[in-house]
Amino acid sequence: MTHTTADVSVRDWLARFAEALAQPDAAGATELFEPGGYWRDLASATWSIVTLEGRDEIRAMLAEASPRDLPRNFVVEPGQTRAADGIVEGWFRFETERLRGRGHLRLVDGLCRTLFTSAVEIKGHEETTGARRERGVEHGAQRGRRTWPERRAAREAALGTTEQPYCLIIGGSQGGMALAARLNRLEVPTLVIDSLAKPGDAWRRRYRSLHLHDPIWACHMPYMPFPPHWPFYIPKDRMGDWLDAYAEMMEIASWGSTTATGAHYDAERETWSVEVERDGRPVTLHPRQLVLATGMSGAPASPRFPGAETFRGEQCHSSAFVSGAAYAGRKAVVVGSNNSAHDICADLWEHGAAVTMVQRSSTLVARADTLFRFITSKLFSEEAVAAGITTEQADFMAASRPYGMVAELQRRLYPEIRAHDAEFYARLEKAGFMLDFGEDDTGLSMKYLRRASGYYIDVGASELVASGEVALRSRVQVARLRPEGVELSDGSVLEADLVVYATGYEPMESWIAKLISAEVAERVGHVWGLGSGTRRDPGPWVGELRNMWKPTRQPGLWLQGGNLQQARFYSRILALQIQARMLGLPTPVHDPKGLRAA
């Protein structure tokens, strides 16, 4: 076999790295990295999701880690190395004593700029898929044989009654379903509960015009990609139907119409007591692992402005808005300028309402087609698929780059996007719209990761604002509500029959305080954000999304969330960590920055 120069470089570096780890020689292994190099690890060497930044952090981890958790037996993937612009990179497989994993390497002048390692499976406890699928039936005559639906019904009837789930997931939309599907394939007894009746109801309850803002290739669920004829942007009701079917096809044990009312952790027994109401009947569940998969945020943040009780019209949070059909020929005010605000303004306008958007702070706007052209299509598109980039490969490629590098890449990219859509942005600003591109010009991805408010992926509403079809009031605040409408801080009054508060949501940690206790929420700390020191993302810098898909400072408590792509990819990482604990494997966690930030 002929090896390219890139092959040789990657193989040589991995061989030297393996030799240093085997000795063990933490100092020698560290010297193979650039002084500011990164090692991003997903639950293989660290049993957490960690980015080690710089030689000091890498050396400290290697000095602390058990040799059984360090990578070995590196094998470069054929045809997966390349050299361009002075960077040599390649994909490889590896093992630890207990895991198999996959990784990626970027080299500059022979030193590692980024190393990425990810757990893929636990040896001897692989997913029951492919060649490991269950047989389904034992041929031959058997008295008392139970059919598949009978066996499934018996399992589900026992779970939560005579048998306790090892893992309880609260939240039955895409995050909970993706994780439950992974855990099922790892044979971890799992139960999902949700206050809504069906898994897809969270999507069905949203406003009628909602479509996914990410293209279909980024949104597949684990094991079951969408049909090839489905549209580029999926309608919300179609997504709801898919989740219902997904739960059935993936054989997920799920209790709908079930609300968790309280949870307490018994540290001595290492078990939760979770109080739930199922169809109005109290039930206590005792899982060992508890996962909150209740979305990316907490409860709706609905402001209570002075005079709200005097307003003669209707008012609601954006999460409760369904349709503008009842407001043809009437006046509506939408407070906010985020995704929901724009979509709701467009829906109201389409139904013939006179709509005014109140923009209280600057907003990052990026056109969906432009984002697809400059960013998403590189990994998630028909062209990417044709180039051999599968969904799994695209997920790994996206994960291989540390967040510390993403900010700078975005900062270099957004001037191109701004130049490409310069006329579009000029028209928005001429209409009075306040634009930003992130506090530090790092763009949409960083604003999303920091859970910062004020961004819109434009799918058409911006044209209504730029043209004046949707009226805009910016550089003002809501002072109070009057019987006839909304009074702004400049003294003007907007007459309204409807006020919609597109004002975002509480932090995700608010669910922890509500379900468990304020003390546990404080112990866990902030959820989401990277510690970038921006307005909604307080420092210190941690380099990973805080508390997501990894151990928290509350034993047995995990958080699952994100968009569909994140829920799909990180559900595997979270499921492996839960499976390892069920199997009783030692899982020494190395995540000093994450623990400090928590």
**What tens-digit pLDDT sequence spans the chain (598 residues)?**
456 889 999 999 999 999 999 999 999 999 999 999 999 999 999 999 999 999 999 999 999 999 999 999 999 999 899 999 999 999 999 999 999 999 999 999 999 999 999 999 999 999 999 999 988 888 888 888 888 888 888 888 888 889 999 999 999 999 999 999 999 999 999 999 999 999 999 999 998 888 998 999 999 999 999 999 999 999 999 999 999 999 999 999 999 999 999 999 999 999 999 999 998 899 999 999 999 998 777 788 889 999 999 999 999 999 999 999 999 999 999 999 999 999 999 999 999 999 999 999 999 999 999 999 999 999 999 999 999 999 999 999 999 999 999 888 888 999 999 999 999 999 999 999 999 988 888 888 888 887 766 889 999 999 999 999 999 999 999 999 999 999 999 999 999 999 999 998 888 889 999 999 999 999 999 999 999 888 888 889 999 999 999 999 999 999 999 999 999 999 999 999 999 999 999 999 998 876 644 3
The helix/strand/coil state of 553 is coil
The pLDDT value recorded for residue 594 is: 66
Name the residue type at position 523. Answer: R
Q: At what angle do helices 236-249 and 174-185 cross, to 10 degrees?
A: 20
Residue 27 DSSP one-character state: H
Q: How many CB atoms lie within 10 A of CB 244?
A: 18
Which residue ranges form the domains of the chain, and what is each CATH number?
5-122 (3.10.450.50), 152-298+508-597 (3.50.50.60), 308-501 (3.50.50.60)
Q: How many CB atoms lie within 10 A of CB 109?
A: 9
Strands 314-317 and 498-501: parallel
Using alpha carbons, select from 103, 75, 107 the residue that is nearest to residue 89: 107
